[in-house]
Structure 1
């Protein structure tokens, strides 16, 4: 069975929704010896670009200044599926339900104060949605004490695996096994898969299409 197309996130809105929910992404740049450097970063997705803040000095800034081709990814493991779901004697059948977005693009060190202000306020809004902070203004000295990295996507691909490649009966069986295993993420995974837990067991309430 060819799964590549089935696993592709086709909705740009779903990709944006996912990026807005995730708190950690990974920025990849090339160091002076040509090796990839991968750094976990807080980020915000604004105006179709990734923004991150950084100290004003560091290897990743040097890398981007030298070679502006970068990669970025964010992912979420929804549920590990132990091999015994399929066969208690075959460990190779272990699997994972997940969502991921991978970007290849151009890395830029933002110098425009208005754009830096937009990015930093966007980061605060995302990570501190309860407020209780004074918004950054473009004339504040703090802008000189922080770097803002912008990734402009040249390619952007999303993948998700929530059982959409399975027959309805098999998806229900998988969902029942996830519920029985009762991992800390089980209920949220079942919701994403389109199931609701009721007094009478599981009920399919949606056929999620991404």
Structure 2
């Protein structure tokens, strides 16, 4: 099914920025019986590829060696919108604000030690931003013994739904209802919708 144009993320840079803001994604490979296997993974997008570290044995490793066509997805649940925001008598009116990216690509197990070290350093930069570690190098035994999975994307598609389909005033109304409901993510969600979460003053069109 084609993405609805107004919901698609058109910029590759925005997709990459979103991927590297998300703590985990899901790797999809095909098992020996032809069924998809889905595994949550830490990951980083660097040098036009997705990298993940892994134990050197396991079903996903076997799957990749057998069939290197894989899928990968990452998403952010922004806010659930209860049905009574829209219609108090119709539960089907409930909606969700979200951002998601889906990748189809070819997976491989990285053998080059320099590429391995670069990938692992990129992972550390993403997850341990405060530092306090020695950068990894190709000569370290830990680099030699860890398995690094690489996905070279063939297609990357992104989709976001932050109320951009509504008029500004209706979006402000929904934002006010989100703040009134008071979820733990309410203020962040309202900001993504383009409003100051304290004053509901318009700042920009919905973005992430």
Give the TM-score of the pair, scaled to structure 1: 0.95
Give the TM-score of the pair, scaled to structure 2: 0.96
Describe the superposition over 1:165-207 as per-residue Cα deviations: whole angstroms up to 9, x where unpaired.
Answer: 1111211111111111111001011111111034xx3111111
List alignment gaps of at least 5 residues for structure 1: none
2:200 paired residue number = 202
1:13 paired residue number = 13
Report how far residue 87 of structure 1 moved: 1.4
**Separation in 1 of the partners of 2:23 and 2:169?**
34
1:115 paired residue number = 115
Q: SS at 1:195's partner residue?
A: coil
Does the aligned pair in 1 maintain the 2:27–2:38 contact within 8 Å? yes
Find out whether 1:152 has 2:152 as its counterpart. yes
Does the aligned pair in 1 maintain the 2:3–2:159 contact within 8 Å? no
Q: SS at 1:62's partner residue?
A: helix
Q: SS at 2:136's partner residue?
A: coil
Does the aligned pair in 2 maintain the 1:3–1:165 contact within 8 Å? no
Does the aligned pair in 2 maintain the 1:105–1:154 contact within 8 Å? yes
Q: Superposed, which structure 2 residues align to 1:1-210 within 5 Å?
A: 4-198=4-198, 201-208=199-206
**Separation in 1 of the partners of 2:206 and 2:32?**
44
**Separation in 2 of the partners of 1:70 and 1:186?**
35
**Separation in 2 of the partners of 1:89 and 1:145?**
59
Does the aligned pair in 2 maintain the 1:101–1:158 contact within 8 Å? yes
Q: SS at 2:189's partner residue?
A: helix
Report how far residue 144 of structure 1 moved: 2.6
Number of corresponding residues? 207
Describe the superposition over 1:114-171 as per-residue Cα deviations: whole angstroms up to 9, x where unpaired.
Answer: 1000000110111000000111110111123210000111010000000001111211
List alignment gaps of at least 5 residues for structure 2: none
**Separation in 1 of the partners of 2:203 and 2:140?**
50
**Separation in 2 of the partners of 1:208 and 1:93?**
21
Describe the superposition over 1:59-80 as per-residue Cα deviations: whole angstroms up to 9, x where unpaired.
Answer: 0000000000000000000000
The runs of at least 4 consecutive aligned structure 1 residues that moved more than 3 Å come to: none
Report how far residue 208 of structure 1 moved: 3.3
**Separation in 2 of the partners of 1:17 and 1:136?**
24
Report how far residue 209 of structure 1 moved: 5.3
Does the aligned pair in 2 maintain the 1:54–1:146 contact within 8 Å? yes
Report how far residue 3 of structure 1 moved: 7.4
Taking a change above 3 Å as real, the CA distance of residues 127 and 81 of structure 1, as seen in their structure-2 partners, is same
Q: SS at 2:115's partner residue?
A: helix
